[in-house]
Amino acid sequence: MKRFFARNAPAYIFLLPWLIGFFLLALGPILASLYLSFTRYDMVSAPRWIGWGNYEYMFTRDRRFWKALEVTFTYVALAVPARLIMALGVAMLLDKGLRTIGLYRAIFYLPSLLGASIAIAILWRQLFAADGVVNQVLAMVGIQGASWITDPDTSLYTLVVLAMWQFGSPMLIFLAGLRGIPRDLYEAAEIDGTPGWRQFTRITLPLLAPVIFFNLVLQTIDSFKTFSSAFIISNGTGAPADSLLFYTVYLFNEAFKFFRMGYASALAWFLLVIIATFTAIAFFTSKYWVHYENERD
Amino acid sequence: MTKLTRRALLGTMGATAAAAALPAMPAFAADRTIRHYWWGNPERDKRTFAVIDTFQKKNAGIAVSGETIGWGDYWTKMATQTAGRNMADLVQMDYRFLFEYVNRGALKPLDEFVGKSLMIADFDKGPLDGGKVDGKLYALNIGSNSQVMVHNTRAFQEAGIDADLINWTWDDFAKACEKITAKSGGKMKGSDDLSLMIETFESWVRQNGREFYGPDGKVTATAGDVSSWWQMWADLRKAGVVRDKNKTVILDPPIAESGIAVGDTAMSHYWSNQLVGIQAVAKDKIGAAMVPHKAGGKPGQFIKPSMFLSLSRDAKDTSAAIAYMNAWVNDPEITGILGLERGIPCSPKIRAALAPKLTEVEKLSVDYFTAIQSKVGPLPVPAPKGAGEVRDAFMRIGTDVVLGKVEVAKAAGTFIEDAQAIIERAQ
């Protein structure tokens, strides 16, 4: 015991700032929110224990909760594949060996850096407004554009397009993955006269599977947590007609607009369950479609 | 030498620290600080900080620290500070939140100061009583206001509208919309589409002889009230005399982007203390009309305290706080700075002092206020908890009506059901 401390004390002392931060700023609030999810708490009077009441209300009586799930799942189902396809496509173009690749990488990565910002969300709102740039361009070719943002039928797709545009970080990971594929495989295929698309499905995709898997998990988690763009574009309420009522936007409204901290905590814990489930599914199915190069079977 | 234990050492250190802190305390007391927290806009913030400067000059030894934030985040921050027992000494309060905060014990009553350090004996009784809960005064009225149909006077003149804008009816309103739209060749619509504005709808319900919320806080508006309201606007949309539906669905545009400001519409619904702000961004001269009446109906509008000052539970130096509060409503220099920006003051003396210095638009709001005195109904009971959520539901469900995705009668029924459920859950 004594030796353990003698040997490890300096390490723990160096770790101390992080440990304090973790217990005080992360673990503490997490446990508090678990407790609050079983209470009614309006931030002014003390929390009141109501057992499973919040969860019961959520599943049996809250119509907006189901609407929020519908919106979020639709978004994840569209945005994740769209973004990954976009990212892979651009990564493959860049992999063709451009001389100024560093510059292009930076340019294509830029939207991802800007994407989470409030300014882009506001810009997006202007672009897709009834008299916005998108419709002005469409009008030039004689198409009468819809009012994208204010029409509940189209508003969600403007956000999918925004998500697609922010392909930067999965693109960089794909690019690294593509670089890792041995060139001689392609050369061999070339000699055999394999057409390009077959090279893609037989060499690129299988060897890229671990990277695709990694990106898929990260992007799915990310998309479930989409907040700021939806919040800004929907005026903070999920408008029009709840078509942009993302789970996180609903959670925020319950917590900071209607001061139902207990209920919002319950929503947050259920979001964790959803994300964990999807990640688990991805990991479970991965053994059927992800193969690592150094695997022996 | 006695052996120094760890506990003894700590004890000594604590005592030393306490001793060191003691001499500092009188100095701290002489330097009295109070915090004032309000929701604002650039114009209001400018005036309020000028008030703080003036007050500090006249009251050496009292420092006022001002904290301001927009309406949207105001109540979130307030709730957080209340939960953390860290409320500002003086907080700006709104009629719809007053009862909630009093019931939670977050405010102190002012009665013990009235007549001693808070001189309000000659103030208008009605507006003053709006700050009472269960017979005790918890909030000092710092301005009153009422609903108003702001209109573009040039457009009205050009279209030749001669209706009496204080006593006019919804029929007159529809005709005015037609005339203005026709006169401008459709470039300027008669009015904003107000079908999703719950404030205007509340007047409609009162005109039908009901309140939106009954005395027990339950929803007393009926599905019939809602469907007749939404139907009237659907007809106006069909006639093409109100603003485009896409501008309606995106609600709460900043005043600078409103139809009145950009010249898309000739009328819209506001609160009377906003007249100054609207005129500042509108090209044409604006006028003030009442919300149209229902032929043979009851009065729909009411005069309400637009803002209050309240003393928070966490206030320590109450005498300094009350001195500041008293200056707000009595000091002629300070009330001169405030003007009518927060609403019409309820001290007749202050109103008289302000009268000669009013700008044109300020004069408009005073004249409007005088004209409507006998046309308004009683102040409704304060909205129950959950009213903000009901407002959101009204917009959400109404959006589907505006976009023609659901039948008016069906949507009206859904709204009333939802509103009742929201109020029930919020209690």
Position B14 scores a pLDDT of 46
Residue pLDDT, tens place only, B336-358:
999 888 889 989 899 889 988 88
pLDDT, average across residues A113-118: 71
Q: Chain A contact for B216, CB < 8 A?
A: no
Q: Chain B contact for A259, CB < 8 A?
A: yes
Taking contacts as CB-CB distances below 8 angstroms, the residues of chain B near A149 are 250
Residue B378 Cα distances to B127, B208, B209, B371, angstroms: 11, 14, 12, 16
Chain B stretch 93-122, residues whose beta carbon is closer than 8 A to a beta carbon of chain A: 101, 104, 106
Position B25 scores a pLDDT of 42
Position B257 scores a pLDDT of 78
Indicate whether A114 pLDDT > 80.
no
Indicate whether A116 pLDDT > 70.
no
Position A150 scores a pLDDT of 81
Residue pLDDT, tens place only, B170-226:
999 999 999 999 999 989 999 999 999 999 999 999 999 999 999 888 999 999 999
Residue pLDDT, tens place only, A239-265:
788 899 999 999 999 988 888 999 999
Indicate whether A131 pLDDT > 80.
no
Q: Compute the distance between CA of residue B362 and CA of residue B423 in angstroms, rounded to an integer.
A: 38
Indicate whether A98 pLDDT > 70.
no
Tell if the CB–CB gap between B395 and A149 is shorter than 8 Å. Answer: no
Judged by average pLDDT, the poorest of A109-118, A136-145, B222-231 is A109-118
Position B251 scores a pLDDT of 55
Tell if the CB–CB gap between B104 and A241 is shorter than 8 Å. Answer: no
Chain A stretch 187-216, residues whose beta carbon is closer than 8 A to a beta carbon of chain B: none
Tell if the CB–CB gap between B80 and A151 is shorter than 8 Å. Answer: no
Indicate whether B27 pLDDT > 60.
no
Indicate whether B10 pLDDT > 60.
no
Taking contacts as CB-CB distances below 8 angstroms, the residues of chain A near B98 are none
Task: Return the higher-pLDDT residue of B145 and A119.
Answer: B145
Tell if the CB–CB gap between B104 and A45 is shorter than 8 Å. Answer: yes
Indicate whether A296 pLDDT > 80.
no
Which homologous superfamily does the CATH classification assign to the domain defined by A54-289? MetI-like (1.10.3720.10)
Indicate whether B426 pLDDT > 70.
yes
Residue pLDDT, tens place only, B316-330:
999 999 999 999 999
Closest CA to A126 of A107, A111, A147, A140: A147
The whole-angstrom distance between B134's CA and the closest CA on chain A is 20
Q: Which two tokens stand for residue A195?
A: 């057409």
Task: Judge contact between B34 and B317, C-beta under 8 A.
Answer: yes
Judged by average pLDDT, the poorest of B106-110, B244-248, B273-277 is B244-248
Which among A44, A57, A258 is the nearest to B106, CB-wise?
A: A44
Position B28 scores a pLDDT of 44
Indicate whether B20 pLDDT > 70.
no
The whole-angstrom distance between A241's CA and the closest CA on chain B is 5
Position A96 scores a pLDDT of 78
Position B13 scores a pLDDT of 45
Indicate whether B415 pLDDT > 90.
yes
Taking contacts as CB-CB distances below 8 angstroms, the residues of chain A near B104 are 44-45
- With bands split at pLDDT 50, 70 and 90, how would you rate the model's confidence at A88? very high
Q: Chain B contact for A144, CB < 8 A?
A: no
- With bands split at pLDDT 50, 70 and 90, how would you rate the model's confidence at A102? confident
Alpha helices (H) along B122-215: 125-129, 153-158, 170-183, 198-207
**Best of B257, B392, B415 to mutate (most A CBs within 10 Å, chain A):** B392
A212 Cβ neighbours under 8 A, 6+ residues apart: A84, A88, A174, A205, A290
Which among B104, B106, B400 is the nearest to A241, CB-wise?
A: B400
Position A197 scores a pLDDT of 87
Indicate whether B315 pLDDT > 90.
yes
**Best of A67, A144, A150 to mutate (most B CBs within 10 Å, chain B):** A150
Closest CA to B197 of B165, B163, B232, B168: B232
Tell if the CB–CB gap between A152 and B395 is shorter than 8 Å. Answer: no
Position B29 scores a pLDDT of 45
B145-303+377-426, CATH topology level: D-Maltodextrin-Binding Protein; domain 2 (3.40.190)
Angle, alpha carbons B62-B63-B64 (nearest 5°): 120
Taking contacts as CB-CB distances below 8 angstroms, the residues of chain B near A243 are none
Position B22 scores a pLDDT of 43
Using the 8-state DSSP alphabet, how is residue A107 labeled? H
Residue pLDDT, tens place only, B401-414:
998 889 999 999 99
Position B381 scores a pLDDT of 85
Mean pLDDT over all residues of chain A?
87
Chain A's closest residue to B394, CA to CA, is: A241
Task: Return the higher-pLDDT residue of B256 and A247.
Answer: A247
Position B4 scores a pLDDT of 46
The whole-angstrom distance between A118's CA and the closest CA on chain B is 16
Residue pLDDT, tens place only, A167-177:
888 998 999 99
Tell if the CB–CB gap between B250 and A242 is shorter than 8 Å. Answer: no
Judged by average pLDDT, the poorest of A209-213, A271-275, B423-427 is B423-427
> In this predicted complex, what is the ipTM?
0.77
**Best of B82, B399, B427 to mutate (most A CBs within 10 Å, chain A):** B399
The whole-angstrom distance between B249's CA and the closest CA on chain A is 6
Position A37 scores a pLDDT of 96
Indicate whether B364 pLDDT > 50.
yes
Which among A44, A235, A256 is the nearest to B104, CB-wise?
A: A44
Q: Chain B contact for A45, CB < 8 A?
A: yes
Residue B58 Cα distances to A153, A274, B324, B336, angstroms: 60, 61, 11, 15
Position B293 scores a pLDDT of 96
- Run of H or E residues at B30: helix B24-30
Tell if the CB–CB gap between A149 and B250 is shorter than 8 Å. Answer: yes
Q: Compute the distance between CA of residue A51 and CA of residue A39 in angstroms, rounded to an integer.
A: 7
Position A151 scores a pLDDT of 83
Indicate whether B256 pLDDT > 90.
no
Chain A's closest residue to B80, CA to CA, is: A43
Position B250 scores a pLDDT of 62
pLDDT, average across residues B133-162: 94
Q: Compute the distance between CA of residue B427 and CA of residue B216 in angstroms, rounded to an integer.
A: 11
Q: Chain A contact for B395, CB < 8 A?
A: yes
Residue A160: left if φ>0, alpha if ψ -120 to 50, beta else—which one? alpha
Chain B stretch 217-256, residues whose beta carbon is closer than 8 A to a beta carbon of chain A: 244-247, 249-252
Position A103 scores a pLDDT of 83
Q: What is the CATH number of domain B30-143+306-346?
A: 3.40.190.10
Position B268 scores a pLDDT of 93
pTM here? Answer: 0.80
Mean pLDDT over all residues of chain B?
87
Contacts A–B by Cβ distance under 8 A: 63
Chain A's closest residue to B87, CA to CA, is: A44
Indicate whether B9 pLDDT > 50.
no
**Best of A60, A259, A261, A263 to mutate (most B CBs within 10 Å, chain B):** A259
Q: Chain A contact for B392, CB < 8 A?
A: yes
Task: Return the higher-pLDDT residue of B43 and B342.
Answer: B342
Q: Chain B contact for A278, CB < 8 A?
A: no
Domain residue ranges of chain A, discontinuous segments joined by +: 54-289
Closest CA to B203 of B236, B186, B225, B234: B225
- With bands split at pLDDT 50, 70 and 90, how would you rate the model's confidence at B3? very low
For chain A, what percent of residues have pLDDT higher than 90? 42
Position B249 scores a pLDDT of 67
The whole-angstrom distance between B239's CA and the closest CA on chain A is 21
Chain A's closest residue to B405, CA to CA, is: A152
pLDDT, average across residues B30-40: 86
Q: What is the DSSP string of A213-260?
A: HHHHHHHHHHHHT--HHHHHHTTTTT-STTTT--HHHHHHIIIIIS--
Position A259 scores a pLDDT of 83
Tell if the CB–CB gap between A42 and B244 is shorter than 8 Å. Answer: no
Q: Chain A contact for B86, CB < 8 A?
A: no
The whole-angstrom distance between B73's CA and the closest CA on chain A is 9
pLDDT, average across residues A113-121: 74
- With bands split at pLDDT 50, 70 and 90, how would you rate the model's confidence at A146? confident
Chain A stretch 220-239, residues whose beta carbon is closer than 8 A to a beta carbon of chain B: 235-239
For chain B, what percent of residues have pLDDT higher than 70? 92
- With bands split at pLDDT 50, 70 and 90, how would you rate the model's confidence at B252? low
Q: Compute the distance between CA of residue B299 and CA of residue B312 in angstroms, rounded to an integer.
A: 35
